[in-house]
Each structure stands twice: as structure tokens, then as C-alpha cells.
Amino acid sequence: MKKYLLFSRVVPRWLIMLVDLFLVTWSFSTSYFIVQRFEFVNILRGYFFIYTGLYCIISAVVMYTMRIHTGLIRYSNTRDVLRIFSSMFVSSMLYLLVINIWVLPVLHVNTVTINLVLLVNFSVSSTLLILLRTMVKSAYFYLNNNTNAKKTVVLIYGSDNSAVLVKQALETSAKTNFSVVGFVDDDAKKVDKEIQQVRVHHIDKLAKLKHKHNVDKLIVMNHNLDEQVKKMALEKCLALGVQVLTVPPSDQWIYGKLNIQQIQDLKIEDLLQRKPIRIDNASISEDLQGKRVLVTGAAGSIGSEIVHQVLSYKPAMVILCDQAESPLHDMKLEVEEKYPDVPTKIFIADIRNYQRMHKLFSDFRPQVVFHAAAYKHVPMMEENPSEAVLTNVLGTKHVADLAVEFRATKFVMVSTDKAVNPSNIMGTTKRIAEIYIQSLKDSPANNTQGGPSTRFITTRFGNVLGSNGSVIPRFRAQIQRGGPVTVTHPDITRYFMTIPEAVQLVLEAGTMGSGGEIFIFDMGEPVRITDLALKMIKLAGLQPDKDIKIVYTGLRPGEKLYEELLNQGERTMPTHHPKIKIAQVISYSHQQVCADIEHLLAINKGNEDVALVNKMKEMVPEFISRNSHFEFLDNISGNEEEIEVMVN
């Protein structure tokens, strides 16, 4: 029996059918004896064998038809109990029908006796069948919980139907090794009650439960993780050394069962995310529905999310433009599978190639442009300023100029908080791109018919959680390798936002913009990167400095301790959305900006990084290099003779 129960051996269905039939037959016989007061002589002289055989045949047909023998006994539930009651009831009704139609006319039977036998039998047979399943199920869990394998002691967050389903799934799965010792909840009505022989505890007792039961893990459904009380519980778990695991909602379980692969560590992205953002879907839909939409950088973290969200608003066409072949191919397959009804066009191109981008605009004539293509890694651009200028400045200029030429109605540029009082090459090139985009509002080419034909809108926000090459994937990889986790400085902080909410705000800002604005997003409170690393180590079930060490490597070239969202002299104005504000920015002459950019690009052709960076500092006076080999330029006050010496 132990071999069958613990090693997932399935008892043949025919054997279960025979056992059930034996119990039903024995029950009917015993019920007949009880009603006849065990007068065996009279019983055997009567029609006992006919009555019993007939009931055995009828009940066998009914049980086979209702398939009460097909379920795995160790996983029996209330539905199986109801099926047993139903089959016994139907068997009794059919038996009475057969007796009254065919047996009574031939054999003179006391129907009162038969009715009493059926009544007693219904109770006895149902009880025996249910008892069999209960005993097997109990034996399975008893033997399973008393094996030599060490159990992982877990608590389940919540006490609703979803939490109960998780408990049942964990206890019935042969592949998990969890022992559920309780639920935790903040609902006073449920605290100290029992659900399936397990107590519901208040979340304030986490420390006591950890000590009493030596709890290893807390399991939580991975939806609605933005609730403040739940976050406090998760933070408390991390402080206590209790690892937090997540499971998807039950409607996402594979074939209705929780797969062990779906039980995952809580991600730092889940812990940092805020309440869902409410956006004006009607306005966005009106803005995008039936339009031809171009997304540059469509294979990147932000660009790909823009594509997904735009597709949900039923545009006439979405053009996916990127130079990364393999990621773009993956995007193509994904969007064709998820959105088969929306036409998509894949266009491999480098935004620095004007002729190639001209062909894109000429062939597809996009009406709305989301410009997300850019170089973004600060240290790499610090070492390669000419490439940063070509992509972030020249590439943006190409796309924006073509938007004007082909009369796109809207151009939305994705910028960064690193463009604010920039301390590095990357942020400065994005700031120059911002300046050019703003200046187009009043450019002659964009005002041929009494007003701007293309509305140019800039969105500015901080880091996005989990984007390609960002700090979180790097920390995760370092933890998986056993450490150390490298942080540049103990006090460095950053703003974080999830990719979906950042893109939601981009779409919303694009809808409300009239042209020339820079929209900044409410990024919440800045996060200390050291705290981020500590939480990620604890989320992995490890102890900082003991299992995984944190090593400080020093600020990288161009890196700030703190990021900003506004330049000096900029102020903000509110919008109808509480998380979006408009920066009151300094305006620039389009003619002067064009002249400066032409000069910048001319210098860039000479491959002289010092002269190039110096020109960038002239164009963006607030650009002060930090921890960079270009810092000396801030001390010579733009003296052309000194710069000439440096170049030569």
C-alpha cells in the first residue's frame, strides 16, 4: 500500500470498481439482514439472492456510467462525495422502478420491506464508499508527511478561496515537499479560525510563527502585490529571513493544477511596484485607433512595450523599426501570434541612415511616431561620445525631420532623467535631442499652413525595472553565481518605474500634449541601490555578507549619486493626470539649434572626442562631467587655445 501511495502508482480502475461493487453488495446484504432482523431461515427461503443480484447489476451500471471509479482516490474532494451520493440515489430509484414494473407482478413482495432496505442501504453504502476514499487519502498524506525527506515549512498569505486552493495544490502535489502550517491574514473576522485543520494567524505574529514552526517560506499569489499591508508583511518576512514565493492565480494553472515550475521566488519588481496607474483609455484609443503608428527601437525594453500597448488600441498599422535583427524577429513572431488582426510591418533600419528612414516614411507614411531608439548605457557612451551623438542626436533629428516632411500628426520622444543637469555624454546627447525636438514647434517647415503640422512631445522619466542591461538583471545574475553583488557607491539612489506603467504614461502624455512640452512622470521616492541589493539577496533566501557579499566598486564614468527630473530654472505645471506634470522649459531658437547641431556633427566627423565634448558643453551649459576623463574641460572655461592644444 505504501508503495502505491507514495510513489504515484495508480490503482487500476477495474480494481476500484470491484472494491466499490463489493462494498455496495455487502451493504445491501447487511441492510436486508437488518430489516429482516437477521432471521436467516426466512431470508434464505425468500428471494434474497434475486433482490441482491438485481441491485448489484443496477448499481454496477450506474456507478460505471457516473464514473465514480475513475478518479484518483488520494485526491478525492467534495465533488467525488456528491457523485457517490448521486450514484447511490439513482441506483435506489432505478431499483424501485424495476421492482415495481417487473418483479412485483411475478413475485409477491412486501414493498415496505424493500423500501426500508433501500433506505438503510443508501446510508450504509454511501458511508462505506466515502470512508474508503477518506481512509486512503488520509493514509497517503500521513505516510507522505512522515517520510524521511525534510519538509519545507510554509505559511500562505491570505485565507480566501485562492489561498485554500494553493494549500490543497501544495498538499496534493507529489512533486512539492511543502508542509503548510498556517495562513496569515489581517482580516480580524478570520484570525484564529481554522480552515482545513490549519489556523489563520494575524500578520503581526510572523516573528512568533517563524520561531515556533521554524517557517522557511511564505507563499503569496503574485497578483495585487501593491497592497500596502501585504508589502509590510513581505518586508517583515525579509527581515526575519523568511523567503517569499509566488504562485500565479488559479485560472493560470496548467490544466487546472499548480505546476511546481510556477512556484517562483518573489521578484524585486513585484516588491517595488506601486498601485496600478489609471489612464484615460478612451482618449488614447481615440488618438491611436485606425492610425498608422511607427515605433523606433521597437525591439528594446521600452519600445517593445509601446508596441504591445499600442496594438491593444486597434491601430490601422504598426511599423516596428529597429536595427537588432534577432530581437526584432522575436517581436515579429510574438505580435503576429497575440494580435493577428492588426497589420504589423517589420522594418530593419538604423535611424542614423537617412535614406533608409526616408524609405520607411515614404512607404508607410506613419501618422503617429513613438521614438524610443537610443543608446542608453552611461559608461559605454562616455567612452564612445561620437556614437552617442550619431544615434541620440543625428538619429533623432532624422526621424523628427521626416515626421515633419511627411506630415505625421504626432511625434513622441522617450527621454530620460539623465538629461537633467547632465553629468555624462549619454544624458547630454538626450538633452540636445530634447532641445531640437522642442525647437521644431516653431520651425518654418512645421508651420507652413498657419500652425504646426506635427506636434512634438517629449516624455522624461527615470530607470525602468528589469530593462535590458539595468541593475536588477545584473544583481540577479550575480546572486545566481554566488556573488559578490557589486554596487558603485553606498549612497547612490535611483528612481524606478515598471516598464508597463512607464509606457502607459508615455501614451497618456502623448495624448494630452499640444506640442513642445516636456512631460515628467511622478517616479515616487528614490530607491537606495544598496537597499535594493540587500532585498534581492534576501528574496533569494540568502543572507547578506554571509552567503552573498556586497562590494562597492566606485562611481562609474559619468555617473551621479542622485538623479534629477528638472533642470535648473525649470518649473512644473500640473495636468489632469496626477502622475504627469509639464516642465516649464527654456525655449531655444530653431535656427540657432540647427546651427549648433550642424557644428556638432561637423566636429564629430573629425573623430576628435575632446572638441566634440567641449561643443556639447557649449550647447548644454549645465553639463558638468562627473568621474570622467572629460572633467578637465569644465576647468578651462571653453578656452579654444587650450582645447586646441588638447586636441593636438
Verify that 226 and 302 share a domain, yes or no: no
For residues 406 and 38, give the distance between their C-alpha atoms in angstroms, rounded to a whole number: 100
Amino acid at residue number 125: S
Domain that holds residue 621: 606-647
C-alpha cell of 326? 534577432
Verify that 286 and 233 share a domain, yes or no: no
Verify that 404 and 341 share a domain, yes or no: yes
333 alpha-carbon distance from chain centroid? 20
C-alpha cell of 81? 462525495
CA geometry: angle 192, 194, 199, nearest 5 deg: 60
Specify which of 33-47, 306-320, 518-532, 622-636 reaches the highest per-range mean pLDDT: 306-320
Whether cis (ω within 30° of 0) applies to the bond prior to 343 is no
Q: Are strands 152-157 and 217-221 parallel, antiparallel or unpaired?
A: parallel
Decide if pLDDT at 142 tops 70: no
Q: Which of 418, 441, 579, 617 is catalytic?
A: 418
Q: Where are the beta strands (DSSP E) in 151-214?
A: 152-157, 178-185, 194-195, 198-202
Q: Is residue 488 part of a domain?
A: no
Whether residue 160 contacts residue 171, with contact meaning beta carbons closer than 8 Å, is answered with: no
Decide if pLDDT at 395 tops 90: yes
Read off the pLDDT of residues 318-362 as tens digits, 9 standing for 90 and up. Answer: 999 999 999 999 999 999 999 988 999 999 999 999 999 999 999
For residue 178, count CB atoms less than 10 angstroms from its CB and return exposed for 0-12, middle for 13-18, buried for 19 or more: buried
Verify that 190 and 314 share a domain, yes or no: no
Q: Where among 145, 168, 189 does a domain terminate?
A: 145
CATH code of 307's domain? 3.40.50.720
Verify that 319 and 436 share a domain, yes or no: yes
Q: Where among 117, 145, 173 does a domain terminate?
A: 145
Q: Where among 103, 130, 145 does a domain terminate?
A: 145
Verify that 188 and 221 share a domain, yes or no: yes
Q: Where are the beta strands (DSSP E) in 373-421?
A: 410-416
Verify that 351 and 244 share a domain, yes or no: no
Verify that 26 and 78 share a domain, yes or no: yes
Ramachandran region of residue 624, left (φ > 0), alpha (ψ -120 to 50) or beta? Answer: beta
pTM for the whole structure: 0.70
Confidence of residue 551 (pLDDT cuts 50, 70, 90): very high
Structural domains counted in the chain: 4
For residues 377 and 379, give the distance between their C-alpha atoms in angstroms, rounded to a whole number: 6
Please compute the mean of the pLDDT values over residues 215-233 and round it to a whole number: 69
Amino acid at residue number 30: T
Q: Is residue 422 part of a domain?
A: yes
Read off the pLDDT of residues 627-643 as tens digits, 9 standing for 90 and up. Answer: 888 888 888 755 555 55
Q: Is residue 174 part of a domain?
A: yes
Q: State yes or no: is 418 an active-site residue.
A: yes
Verify that 199 and 114 share a domain, yes or no: no
Q: Is residue 480 part of a domain?
A: no
Q: Is residue 409 part of a domain?
A: yes
Q: Is residue 541 part of a domain?
A: no
Q: Is residue 529 part of a domain?
A: no
Read off the pLDDT of residues 416-471 as tens digits, 9 standing for 90 and up. Answer: 888 888 999 999 999 999 999 988 887 887 777 666 788 999 998 877 776 766 78
Verify that 36 and 112 share a domain, yes or no: yes
Please compute the mean of the pLDDT values over residues 466-486 and round it to a whole number: 83
Whether residue 303 contacts residue 372, with contact meaning beta carbons closer than 8 Å, is answered with: yes
Verify that 429 and 578 share a domain, yes or no: yes
Which of 447, 442, 388, 438 shows the shortest CA–CA distance to 418? 388
Verify that 257 and 341 share a domain, yes or no: no
Three-state DSSP class for residue 410: strand
Q: Is residue 272 part of a domain?
A: no
CA geometry: angle 306, 311, 313, nearest 5 deg: 105
Which helix or strand (DSSP H or E) is residue 123 part of? Answer: helix 111-145
* pLDDT value, residue 7: 45
